Amino acid sequence: MILHVDMDAFYASVEERDRPELVGKPVIVGGTPESRGVVAAANYVVRQFGVHSAMPSATAFRLCPQAIVIPPRIAYYAKVSSQIREIFERFTPLVEPVSLDEAFLDVTGSESLFGPAIEIARRIKSEIRATLRLVASVGVAPNKFLAKVASDLKKPDALVFVAPGEIQAFLDPLPVGRLWGVGRVTGKVFERIGIQTIGEVRRMSVEALQREFGRQGEHLWQLAHGIDDRRVIPDREAKSISHETTFAIDQTSSEVLRAWLLDLVEQVAYRLRRGALRGRTVNLKLRFSDFRTITRAQTLAEPTDITHEIWNTVASLLDVALADGNFAVRLIGVGVSGFENLKEKQLSLFPDESRARDSRLDSVRDQINAKFGKAALNRASGLQQPADHKRAVSPEELADDS
């Protein structure tokens, strides 16, 4: 059985935990309207006004003028994420992080030690609440897709169990938008052909879906039948480390995209260093409003785990991908592959001093942020003051602005 654990309003919840006076008030983690920033996270109070993550801050403040804005502390949230992961690993070594606030766990081999998967889920929720004073939603199901859908159904503080024999009863009544890959454009196609629920999709033939959606049709057919054969892959076995985010509303601002890209780079670089990994290939993934998906990659001369290098590379890839200025982006992601284990790295006779400096800078920041959570404001400034889209700006330059 697979668990999908998703921390509820993670960034905002961490801030509320550390500053109890914020509880019950509308809280936005992100940039100010004056800085043309974006919403990185919104607590459940401010969501009642229609505010959501990835929304421009100016829009959020028009919806809720009384909202309290807090600058993001990405590295501090990464420290809390590591503490959450330590709880996961008490129950299973098969933990696949999806981002700082969510992960898949394969607990199939753990049930003989800790009881049924639903009990493991309850214990994980309980330990996160007791130890870290945070709330997690958990979906328990036979595969990743079902577990992800389950965890999202009754947030916050959800615990939803999908038994192997109840998959279709669980999926059929759900709106078609719950299927991975069904966005605004795909949703309009389903609306045109009169399909509203997953059950109605399930009753369509593969051929009919392929006529409407091309190669995506078979994917949709499989999901509608609850089929997802992907396994949970821990970092140590992964061929790449990546993070991506899907926007509630398609993004047409390069500044917003760059701000989110920097956030993703921070998470990827942190996981690389945590796993003692360096990668040679940097990847950018974009999915547009028409569901066209592109990937762009650049292979570096040397493997890296350095935030500065990953950021400069992927920011340049983004500039090229959006060069025509006519885009609406639904998803953005960044990844690093082509690993070299740091423990097996051969030392150079002539080390690059600038790379060594950047590596030391990352190491020192990781240590300081893990202990105090203060320096994280530097790199998170990418969410407060998005860089000029005409050139790549490093986290170090952003840090100098704070």
Q: How many Å is the maximal CA-CA distance in the chain?
A: 67
Q: CB of 43 within 8 A of CB of 10?
A: no
Q: Give the CA count within 13 Å in the CB-facing half-sphere of 348.
A: 8
Fold (topology level) of 174-224: DNA polymerase; domain 1 (1.10.150)
Count other Cβ atoms within 10 Å, centred on residue 349. Answer: 5
Which helix (H) or strand (E) element contains residue 19?
A: none
Q: CB of 379 within 8 A of CB of 75?
A: yes
Beta carbons within 8 Å of 332's beta carbon, 6+ residues apart: 244, 245, 247, 251, 257, 260, 261, 264, 284, 285, 286, 287
Query: What string of pLDDT tens digits covers the 402 residues of the chain?
Result: 999 999 999 999 999 999 999 999 999 998 777 666 788 899 999 999 999 887 888 889 999 999 999 988 877 888 899 999 999 999 999 999 888 899 999 999 999 999 999 999 999 999 999 999 999 999 999 999 999 999 999 999 999 999 999 999 999 999 999 998 787 778 889 999 999 999 999 999 999 999 998 888 999 999 999 999 999 988 777 788 888 888 877 888 888 888 889 888 988 888 888 778 899 999 999 988 877 889 999 999 999 999 989 999 999 999 999 988 888 898 899 999 998 865 555 555 545 566 566 656 665 565 555 554 433 334 444 444 333 333 333 333 333 332
Determine the 3-state secondary structure of 242 from DSSP: strand
How far apart are alpha carbons 96 and 233 in whole angstroms? Answer: 5
Total-model pTM: 0.76
Assigned token pair, 63: 């919806």
Residue-range domain boundaries for the chain: 1-173+230-237, 174-224, 239-401
Phi, psi torsion values for 19, nearest 5 degrees: -130, 85
Q: CB of 139 within 8 A of CB of 162?
A: yes
User: Is 102 among the residues known to form the active site?
Assistant: yes
Are 1-173+230-237 and 174-224 equal in CATH topology? no
How far apart are alpha carbons 53 and 178 in whole angstroms? Answer: 18
Catalytic residue of the set 16, 96, 102, 255: 102
What is the CATH number that goes with domain 239-401? 3.30.1490.100
Assigned token pair, 289: 């409003």
Q: Which CATH superfamily is domain 1-173+230-237 in?
A: Reverse transcriptase/Diguanylate cyclase domain (3.30.70.270)
